[in-house]
Amino acid sequence: MDIIRLSDDAFRRLAAGDNRPAVIGELADGQRSRRMVLLRALLDAAGDPATAGPLPSVAETWVALEKIQAAAPAALDAVLLHPQVGSWLAYTLRRHRGGASGRAPRHIDFGQLNTVALAAAALTGVPHRTVVPLRGGRVLVPRFGMATFEGCQAWDTAEAWTEDGRLRLRHGTATVDVPAEGDAPGWMALRSLTVGEDDLSLTVFVDDIDPWRDLADPVDPVRLTEDEFGTWAKLLQDAWTILVRHHRPVAEGLAAGFTSLAPLPAVTGWDTRSASTGDAFGAIMCSLPPDPVTLAVSLAHEFRHIALGGLMHLVALTEGPGEPCLYAPWRDDPRPAGGLLQGIYAFHGIAGFWRDQRRVPGNPHPRLDDFEYAYSRAQTREAIAIALADGNLTERGRHFVRLMAAAMDDWDADSLDPEAAELARLVADGHRAGWRIRHRHPDPGTVKALAAAWREQRTPPAERAPATVRPDPEMRHWSGARLGLARRRLLAPEQYAQAGRASWGVALSDADLDLFAGDAAAAAARFAAGLAADPRSEDAWTGLGLALQHAGASPAGDMLLGHPDLVMALHRELGGAADPAALAGWLAG
Amino acid sequence: MVSLTGRTLGDLRSDDSPALIETMQLVLGQVQKPRANLGGSGPPGRAD
């Protein structure tokens, strides 16, 4: 039996960010094999009597699937490769092996295989009859839609069959007659959208019903109204136009591999949320974005995750999952090696998107887009260095990351709006320092030794034990304010002074406004006053570092940004009496 | 991971080769924990 080997060409192209159809095709072949393997694992697991129930067994359905495959292999592949079938398979096996919880009897999980056979038969017109599981009276038929019956037990069953090319389901005396298109009594269709621009079109399911359209456990349907569906249709068309006209390679990849869009609920205070999972190759989850550019970059971002997920199924790029101890510049919490690598690949794509987007003729926000490019480029570069140093990469993983870095080599020559570039540096430096002060913990012995040296007016000992990273679960979302302030300065400078009143700006101080307006000296004075009032304020410590450094060459500023955790801990050890800037300067030697 | 290109479900049902078993263990390990990618494009300030 052959082992799947991704071609060297596909590996290099993926690393360089080329996710076009030839590369996606190789990943899709890998996904097909993987789904077949998961099916076989399901068959083996179904030997457990705990999975048995009042439904045709997996073994019986397997025989039916063999016949359907013999008659129409492409139809079976289409259902097998449906993203949410992957999620269902993964969830069922994970739960069976104790890695997930659920309330449904096992036969309800395993019996979902009967809907796969039903769907494949329906695609081809092959006659087929089965019994399918109902969850709360509902059953999802992949690629088709969801039937709902009233008056069911929590876990129940329905007969289902194909007849004259049509699907029918029955529970008790109620029959759902699935139409060729659209909804019907007891039936919600899985809707799809096709958008086009020039010679390139994209067709995706808009999945608001599949229980496995989320990230792990089954969820209820949340049906979009016709108006909401229409809003998505318009946004997707406009985003597609942007992608085809200005990011053609990204669009070509999406056309080949993006097959399902699952709308997410909005979250107050954030523009857009997006997500994907390696179990559902081809599916992107996204909340309604405010504009087509945000949707376009979200799709570009998530498709990077999909592509890398497909690669990582075939090639080990990290030595195991790793501990959550690494700095990822786009995250407020420490990340494990696998998560860092996914983020690097996604931000490599985001930076590439903004690199091209900022040059779009007639761009209404070129300086803001310069900022997005500068910031995401810096984030990606920094994370690449971290991954190569500490990221637990395999040899192939290191090769992959180096290829990604090489693809960015000529980006240094890009000219940028100077204020946008400076603001990007300020935000990046502030985020790094903010992460360090929240998640890094200096060695207590080192702190005590330094305190003794300070009290005795000696030079600080050079020998310092390394700090440890202990993720603080309370510190997972702390950094939005300064990022928002930088954007406000570029996008709406006339509203800059009111940034603190925005929902995202509540944590901003007057010192932050001074700093981002370029008045580093005033900012330093205000941050120092802030620390006198509250020496526990992480933002005041990092703000002081930023202000000192931006006011001119400053060893104290460098120390505050490089080791804010140590300076704060030492300040606390000294009873809060030392001047923060003086203490940082003393530590810097 | 083994390639099942060109192989049928019938082939798969009766295959207990070490290569397939090893691949199954690999894939079962991959799905044992859900692995989600969470993004937030356009965080604060962009839509103001």
Chains A and B form CB pairs within 8 A to the count of: 186
Which positions 469-488 of A are in contact with B (Cβ < 8 Å)?
Answer: 480-481, 483-488
Residue A288 token pair:
């309604």
Q: How close, in Å, is residue A455 to chain B by CA atoms?
A: 44
Give the C-alpha separation, A244 to A503, whole Å: 34
Residue A466 token pair:
């390394």
Cβ-based neighbours of A435, under 8 Å, separated by 6 or more? A327, A332, A334
Confirm or reject contact between B4 and chain A (CB < 8 A): yes
Exposed/middle/buried for residue A149 (C-beta within 10 Å: 0-12, 13-18, 19+): buried
Q: How confident is the model at residue B48 (pLDDT cuts 50, 70, 90)?
A: very low
Instruction: For residue A332, give the 3-state DSSP assignment.
Output: coil
Asked if A487's CB is within 8 angstroms of B48's CB, the reply is yes
How many CB atoms are closer than 10 A to CB A448?
A: 13
ipTM for the whole complex: 0.91
Asked if B15's CB is within 8 angstroms of A305's CB, the reply is no
Confirm or reject contact between B19 and chain A (CB < 8 A): yes
DSSP codes joined into one string, A335-371: B-HHHHHHHHHHHHHHHHHHHHHTTSTT-S-HHHHHH
What pLDDT was estimated at residue B46?
54
Query: What is the dihedral angle through the alpha carbons of A407, A408, A409, A413, rounded to the nearest 10 degrees?
Result: 140
Residue A355 token pair:
């690199």
* Sequential pLDDT tens for chain A (589 residues): 666 778 899 999 999 999 999 999 999 999 999 999 999 999 999 999 999 899 999 999 999 999 999 999 999 999 999 999 999 999 999 999 999 999 999 999 999 999 999 999 999 988 999 999 999 999 999 999 999 999 999 999 999 999 887 999 999 999 999 999 999 999 999 999 999 999 999 999 999 999 999 998 899 999 999 999 999 999 999 999 999 999 999 999 999 999 999 999 887 656 688 999 999 999 999 999 999 999 999 999 999 999 999 999 999 999 987 889 999 999 999 999 889 999 999 999 999 999 999 999 999 999 999 999 999 999 999 999 999 998 799 999 999 999 999 999 999 999 999 999 999 999 999 999 999 999 999 999 999 999 999 999 999 999 999 999 998 888 888 888 999 999 999 999 999 999 999 888 999 999 999 999 999 999 999 999 999 999 999 999 999 999 999 988 799 999 999 999 999 999 999 999 999 999 999 999 8
Which residue(s) pair with A411 in the sheet?
none
Residue A93 token pair:
């096996």
| Contact of A245 with A237, CB cutoff 8 Å | no
Asked if B20's CB is within 8 angstroms of A33's CB, the reply is no
Give the C-alpha separation, A328 to A390, whole Å: 12
| Contact of A554 with A422, CB cutoff 8 Å | no
Interhelix angle A21-45/B18-31, nearest 10 degrees: 100
Q: Terminus-to-terminus CA distance in chain B, angstroms?
A: 48
Confirm or reject contact between A239 and chain B (CB < 8 A): no
User: Looking at beta carbons, which residues of chain B come within 8 Å of A484?
Assistant: 43-45, 48
User: Looking at beta carbons, which residues of chain B come within 8 Å of A278?
Assistant: 30, 35, 37
| Contact of A43 with A62, CB cutoff 8 Å | yes
What pLDDT was estimated at residue A567?
98
Q: How confident is the model at residue B38 (pLDDT cuts 50, 70, 90)?
A: confident
What pLDDT was estimated at residue B45?
52
Q: Read off the pTM.
A: 0.94
Query: What's the one-letter identity of residue A201?
Result: S
Give the C-alpha separation, A332 to A482, whole Å: 13
Residue the block writes with tokens 């260095």: A385
What pLDDT was estimated at residue B41?
57
Confirm or reject contact between B6 and chain A (CB < 8 A): no
Confirm or reject contact between B17 and chain A (CB < 8 A): yes
Nearest-5° angle of CA A198, CA A202, CA A204? 160
